[in-house]
């Protein structure tokens, strides 16, 4: 869709809109670093969020009473508009402008989806399966690592997918508080009224999100061989 | 704290709040008006609903800043271009949920309804839509929250809204305005989330809420 | 009366018909059971009656009129339709579920309310208790009762039932079948009943239409006749190796000509005249006796029944059987 928009832009505003010269001149020292910065921001955030969410989700799936307050708090965090969240965070002492504030916000945004999917994944393990494992003499630790987590993995990966796509999108806004990444191109493009930067930033951010979506979807399918049997 | 409260008394605060709400409400309404008929058109066909749902999924993956930014070189600066961008953002969640919600209705329930002599319109109106209502409303809720959040970004392409205050605070390095604007946006978003949550519950038929306490295993 | 006249159904893109040249009549007030293995087209045949599926060839007459004389939706409002319990509308109360067709037919409110209560009572659910509940709050058996009540709501002369007792445990199913047969004695509808279970078919049916793969009618007759004289290998194997015993279960002791008691009845087993012949046989064998004394409701002995009599009856029927 965005490529359609881009080509429309080309027709409407003439050849000057997409300045290919600028793109080739700045490819290696501006565009590539922006892509890498964007991937770095997103990857670090999802990883940290996963480290928090996995144990939290497992605990919450056992102590059900803790689940509603956890989803309530993470739900509130999730619904705060990102620009507001960033603006609030940079005023916190010790955080300030820069990637740190962006990463904190991105982690906060991922928690709801990740925890919810960890719990859903744990719930999806049939009671009979756990019972059979117990009956065969597995310890509860072994049941967790050999039965529950492998069976819950596809649902957890589905959560990682949604969180990653969301985060890649929000990370663009992080550039406003000097977080770097592809948003940098968009914002400078807007302030300098230079459409090429906007288009390159927006299109690449979109591509990155769609690519992450599709590849994580492929992983999700790969991890769920029992759902694929129909095809063969 | 006092200085933040003063922000809420600024004349431009109220004006930008109104613009923010206008942008969000209009975008959401147009979004519903576009997405629902499309969902109603495609849900019967497996192929077309897959097309709609996948398009919606890709649409959801597009960063909201990217959509706003791309609208700018095309349509320029201001309220209307922002509205177009926000509408584009509003459509996918509703389209996805409405199509899947309508498709998820158990075919045997539909068969029973047709078998008793309900016309196609009656099956849709009396059976399918009420049963799919919670899922459809969940989509509208997602869409509303996203639109309210993204409307904050409209300021970057001259659309106004509460983002204006946040940006103003940054530019002038006035912490109070920056915080006041952010808090206002956050509260607005949470009200939207909670409000639509209540609406979703109100539109969920009671029979779908009751637990099957009678069905012993 | 429902009349199938050379009805066939072939789905577009398929070479083989699912229903093949079906012709038979279902008489008023009878339960006709369409039974056969999966893929025999029994459900398709039933669904062509209320035009949820249109035949490719032939026609179906209802009381002499082709069922295409009115629109499909209008037709369906005058034919009861019950399927497995899942067909209840989850978002509507039990009362609203039952009231679906009366509401479509614009009955007034009071009449609908009265009808709902009457039907709940008929299927053995206390109206005061169940009217306002939702399907999810009912057990499987209760849901199926509601399904049957809903099909009867507008008092249609014809009812179509597709495995209406399919999704419950055998004990509940048996009870629902008995209840339904009792209800049918009161309401006397023309019923087309689909099942894959031959035992259910024999129990419920006044007539059985046994269909085989490809939607061909293998045999159409009363259960007694089909069990006594299956007309083909297919029917014979479909009704099962125990068909002689199944047939005995359809006959009652009171239907038999009894031998006179010779005053030596004291040490013989006693059989109620209302038991069926299969159970009577079982009792005799179990007691190790050749004969038993048939008693009616407390009135004392009516005569004696011997294993030999039952054997002769079954053997005769067997001898009549001829395959074409």
**CATH number of the domain that residue A58 is part of:** 1.10.3720.10
Query: Domain range spanning residue B31?
Result: 2-216
Mean predicted lDDT score pLDDT of chain A: 86
Both structure tokens of B180:
């006041």
Average pLDDT over residues B151-170: 91
Model pLDDT, residue C298 = 65
Q: What is the pLDDT of residue A231?
A: 39
Region of C168 please: left (phi>0), alpha (psi -120 to 50) or beta.
Answer: beta
Q: What is the pLDDT of residue C269?
A: 83
Hey, which residues does C59 pair with through a beta bridge?
C5
Q: Which tokens belong to C51?
A: 């035009």
- Residues of chain A above pLDDT 70, percent: 89
Per-residue tokens: B197:
């949550």
User: What single string gives the DSSP state of each residue in C197-209?
Assistant: -HHHHHHH-SEEE
Residue B214 has pLDDT above 60, yes or no: no
Q: Give the residue ranges of DSSP H helices in chain C.
A: 42-49, 72-77, 94-98, 100-104, 109-122, 127-130, 140-152, 170-187, 198-204, 223-228, 233-239, 243-250, 277-287, 307-320
Query: Nearest residue of A to residue B67 by CA position?
Result: A202
| pLDDT reported for residue A10 | 47
Split at pLDDT 50, 70, 90, the class of B48 is very high
Question: For chain B, how many structural domains are there in total?
Answer: 1
C166 touches chain B (CB under 8 A): no
Q: Which residues of A touch B163 (CB under 8 A)?
A: 83
pLDDT computed for residue C324 by the predictor: 43
Q: What is the largest CA-CA distance in chain B?
A: 69
**Is the CB of A6 less than 8 angstroms away from the CB of B170?**
no
Q: Which of C63, C66, C69 is nearest to C27 (CA)?
A: C63
The answer to whether B216 contacts C138, with C-beta atoms less than 8 Å apart, is no
C-contacting chains (≥3 CB pairs under 8 Å)? B
The answer to whether the CB of C202 falls within 8 A of the CB of C238 is: no
Domain span holding position A139: 25-224
Question: Rounded to 5 degrees, what angle do the CA atoms C103, C105, C107 make?
Answer: 65
B63 and A172 in contact by Cβ < 8 A?
Answer: yes
Is it the case that chain B and chain C have 3 or more CB pairs lying under 8 Å apart?
yes
CB pairs below 8 Å between A and B: how many? 133
Whether residue C177 is predicted with pLDDT greater than 80 in this model: the reply is yes
pLDDT digits (tens, 9 = 90+) for C51-74: 999 999 999 999 999 999 989 899
Beta carbons of B70 and A75 less than 8 Å apart = no
Structural domains of chain A, count: 1
Q: Mean pLDDT over all residues of chain B? A: 89
Q: Give the model's pLDDT for residue A15.
A: 46
Between C30-34, C122-126, C237-241, the lowest mean confidence (pLDDT) is in C237-241
Q: Is residue A4 part of a domain?
A: no
Would you say residue A165 has pLDDT above 90? yes
What pLDDT score was predicted for residue A16? 59
Taking only residues 123 to 152 of chain B, the set having a beta carbon closer than 8 angstroms to any beta carbon of chain C reads: 127, 130-131
CA distance C34 to C206: 11
DSSP single-letter state for residue B101: H
- The pLDDT of residue A74 is 93
Complete edge-to-edge strand list for the sheet that includes strand C19-26 = C19-26, C2-9, C57-62, C65-66
C/A Cβ contact: 3+ pairs below 8 Å: no
Cβ separation B150–A203 shorter than 8 A = no
- The answer, yes or no, to whether residue C49 has pLDDT greater than 90, is yes
What is the mean pLDDT of the segment spanning C4-22? 91
Instruction: Show contacts of C235-243: CB within 8 Å, 24+ apart.
Output: C235/C210, C236/C323, C238/C36, C238/C37, C238/C198, C238/C210, C238/C212, C239/C198, C239/C202, C239/C210, C240/C198
Q: To which H or E segment does residue B27 belong?
A: helix B11-42
Distance from CA of B147 to the nearest CA of A (A): 10
Residue among A176, A187, A182 nearest A203 (CA)? A182
Q: Given this model, what pLDDT does residue C85 score? A: 58
Q: What is the pLDDT of residue A230?
A: 47
Q: How confident is the model at residue C320 (pLDDT cuts 50, 70, 90)?
A: low
Q: Best interface-test mutation with B: which of C43, C53, C71, C90 has the largest number of B CBs within 10 A?
A: C90
- Tens of pLDDT along B72-93? 888 888 999 999 999 999 999 9
Stretch C29-49: mean pLDDT, rounded? 92
Write down the pLDDT at residue A129: 87
Confidence check: pLDDT of C297 > 80: no
Q: Which of B62, B74, B186 sits opposite A81 (nearest CB)?
A: B186
Q: Strand C158-162 relative to strand C190-195: parallel, antiparallel, unpaired?
A: parallel
* Structural domain includes residue A198: yes
Q: How far apart are CA A166 and CA B119, in angstroms?
A: 42
Q: Which helix (H) or strand (E) holds B70?
A: helix B64-75
| Residue range C138-157: mean pLDDT, rounded | 90
Reported ipTM: 0.82
pLDDT given for residue C167 in this prediction: 75
What is the pLDDT, as a whole number, of residue B74?
Answer: 87
- What's the mean pLDDT when you consider all of chain C? 87
- Cα of B128 to nearest chain C Cα, Å: 10
| DSSP state string for B42-58 | HTT-HHHHHHHHHHHHH
Q: Does residue A7 lie within any of the structural domains?
A: no
Task: Provide the shortest C-alpha distance from residue B25 to chain C (in Å).
Answer: 30
If residue C271 lies in a helix (H) or strand (E), which one and from where to where?
strand C270-272
Q: Which residue has the higher pLDDT, B60 or B23?
A: B23
Structure tokens at B59: 């649409």
pLDDT at residue C265, as a whole number: 62
Q: Is residue A20 situated within a structural domain?
A: no
Closest Cα of chain B to A194: distance in Å? Answer: 9
Task: Give the CATH number of the domain where residue B31 resides.
Answer: 1.10.3720.10
pLDDT of A42 reads 95
The answer on pLDDT for C39 being more than 70 is yes
Q: Which of B111, B207, B212 sits opposite C87 (nearest CB)?
A: B111
The whole-number pLDDT of residue B85 equals 95
Residue A226 has a pLDDT of: 63
pLDDT confidence of residue C107: 93
Kindly report the nearest CA distance between residue A191 and chain B, in angstroms: 9
- In this complex, the chains that touch B, judged by 3 or more CB pairs closer than 8 A, are A, C
Q: What pLDDT is attached to residue B184?
A: 92
What per-residue confidence (pLDDT) applies to C305? 84
The DSSP code sequence of chain A is -HHHHHHHHHHHH-TTSS-HHHHHHHIIIIIHHHHHHHHHHHHHHHHHHHHHHHHHHHHHHHSGGGHHHHHHHHHHHHHS-HHHHHHHHTTSTTT-SSHHHHHHHHHHHHHHHHHHHHHHHHHTS-HHHHHHHHHTT--HHHIIIIIIHHHHHHHHHHHHHHHHHHHHHHHHHHGGGT--STHHHHHHHHHTT-HHHHHHHHHHHHHHHHHHHHHHHHHHHHT-HHHHTTT-
| Residues in chain B closer than 8 A to A80 (CB atoms) | 149, 185-186, 189-190
pLDDT at C186 over 50: yes
Q: Which residue has the tokens 């399966």?
A: A129
Residues of C in contact with B108 (CB under 8 A): 83-84, 86-87
Radius of gyration of chain C (CA): 23
**pLDDT tens per residue across span C222-270:** 998 898 888 899 998 888 878 788 888 888 887 777 777 766 666 788 8
pLDDT, mean of residues C89-110: 92
| B65/A205 CB distance under 8 A | yes
Say whether A83 and B74 touch across the interface (CB within 8 A): no
Confidence (pLDDT) at C139: 87
């Amino acid at each position: 869709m965005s490529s359609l928009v881009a080509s429309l832009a080309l027709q409407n505003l003439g050849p000057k809109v997409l300045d290919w010269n600028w793109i080739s001149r700045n490819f290696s020292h501006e565009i590539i670093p922006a892509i890498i910065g964007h991937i770095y921001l997103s990857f670090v955030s999802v990883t940290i969020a996963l480290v928090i969410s996995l144990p939290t989700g497992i605990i919450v799936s056992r102590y059900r009473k803790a689940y509603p307050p956890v989803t309530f708090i993470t739900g509130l965090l999730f619904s705060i508009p990102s620009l507001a969240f960033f603006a609030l965070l940079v005023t916190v002492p010790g955080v300030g402008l820069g990637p740190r504030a962006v990463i904190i916000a991105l982690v906060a945004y991922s928690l709801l989806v990740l925890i919810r999917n960890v719990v859903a994944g744990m719930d999806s393990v049939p009671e009979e399966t756990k019972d059979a494992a117990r009956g065969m003499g597995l310890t509860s630790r072994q049941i967790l690592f050999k039965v529950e987590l492998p069976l819950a993995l596809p649902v957890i990966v589905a959560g990682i997918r949604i969180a990653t796509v969301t985060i890649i999108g929000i990370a663009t806004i992080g550039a406003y508080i000097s977080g770097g990444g592809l948003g940098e191109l968009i914002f400078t493009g807007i302030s300098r009224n230079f459409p090429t930067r906007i288009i390159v930033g927006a299109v690449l951010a979109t591509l990155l999100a769609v690519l992450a979506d599709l590849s994580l979807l492929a992983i999700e399918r790969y991890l769920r061989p029992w759902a694929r049997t129909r095809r063969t | 704290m006092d200085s933040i409260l003063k922000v809420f008394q600024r004349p431009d605060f109220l004006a930008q709040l109104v613009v923010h709400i206008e942008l969000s409400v209009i975008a959401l309404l147009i979004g519903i008006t576009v997405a629902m008929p499309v969902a109603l058109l495609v849900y019967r066909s497996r192929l077309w609903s897959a097309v709609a749902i996948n398009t919606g999924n890709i649409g959801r993956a597009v960063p909201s800043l990217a959509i706003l930014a791309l609208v700018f070189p095309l349509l320029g600066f201001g309220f209307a271009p922002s509205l177009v961008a926000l509408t584009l953002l509003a459509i996918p969640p509703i389209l996805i949920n409405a199509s899947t919600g309508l498709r998820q209705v158990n075919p045997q329930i539909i068969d029973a309804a047709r078998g008793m002599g309900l016309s196609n319109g009656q099956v849709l109106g009396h059976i399918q839509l009420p049963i799919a209502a919670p899922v459809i409303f969940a989509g509208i809720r997602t869409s509303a929250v996203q639109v309210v959040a993204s409307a904050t970004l409209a300021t970057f392409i001259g659309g106004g809204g509460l983002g204006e205050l946040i940006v103003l605070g940054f530019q002038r390095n006035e912490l109070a305005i920056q915080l006041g604007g952010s808090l206002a946006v956050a509260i607005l978003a949470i009200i939207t989330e909670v409000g639509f949550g209540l609406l979703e519950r109100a539109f969920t038929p009671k029979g779908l809420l009751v637990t099957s306490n009678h069905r012993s295993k | 009366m429902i009349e199938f006249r050379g009805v066939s159904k072939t789905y577009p893109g398929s070479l083989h018909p699912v229903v093949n040249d079906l012709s038979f009549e279902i008489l008023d007030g009878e339960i006709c059971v369409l039974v056969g293995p999966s893929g025999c087209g029994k459900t398709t045949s039933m669904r062509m009656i209320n035009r949820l599926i249109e035949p490719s060839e032939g026609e179906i007459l209802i009381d002499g009129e082709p069922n295409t004389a009115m629109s499909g939706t209008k037709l369906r409002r005058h034919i009861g339709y019950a399927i497995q319990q899942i067909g209840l509308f989850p978002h509507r109360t039990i009362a609203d579920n039952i009231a679906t067709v009366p509401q479509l037919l614009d009955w007034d409110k009071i009449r609908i309310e009265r009808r709902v209560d009457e039907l709940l009572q008929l299927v053995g659910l206390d109206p005061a208790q169940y009217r306002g509940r939702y399907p999810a709050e009912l057990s499987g058996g209760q849901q199926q009762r509601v399904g049957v009540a809903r099909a009867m709501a507008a008092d249609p002369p014809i009812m179509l039932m597709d495995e209406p007792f399919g999704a419950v445990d055998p004990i509940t199913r048996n009870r629902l079948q008995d209840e339904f047969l009792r209800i049918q004695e009161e309401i006397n509808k023309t019923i087309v009943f689909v099942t894959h279970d031959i035992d259910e078919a024999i129990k419920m049916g006044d007539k059985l239409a046994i269909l085989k793969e490809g939607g061909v009618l293998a045999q159409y007759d009363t259960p007694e006749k089909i069990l006594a004289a299956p007309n083909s290998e297919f029917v014979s194997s479909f009704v099962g190796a125990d068909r002689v015993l199944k047939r005995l279960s359809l006959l009652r002791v009171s239907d038999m000509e009894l031998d006179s008691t010779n005053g030596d009845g004291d040490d013989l087993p006693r059989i109620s005249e209302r038991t069926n012949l299969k159970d009577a046989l079982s009792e005799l064998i179990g007691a190790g006796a050749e004969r038993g004394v048939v008693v009616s409701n407390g009135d004392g002995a009516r005569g004696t029944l011997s294993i030999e009599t039952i054997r002769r009856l079954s053997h005769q029927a067997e001898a009549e059987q001829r395959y074409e």
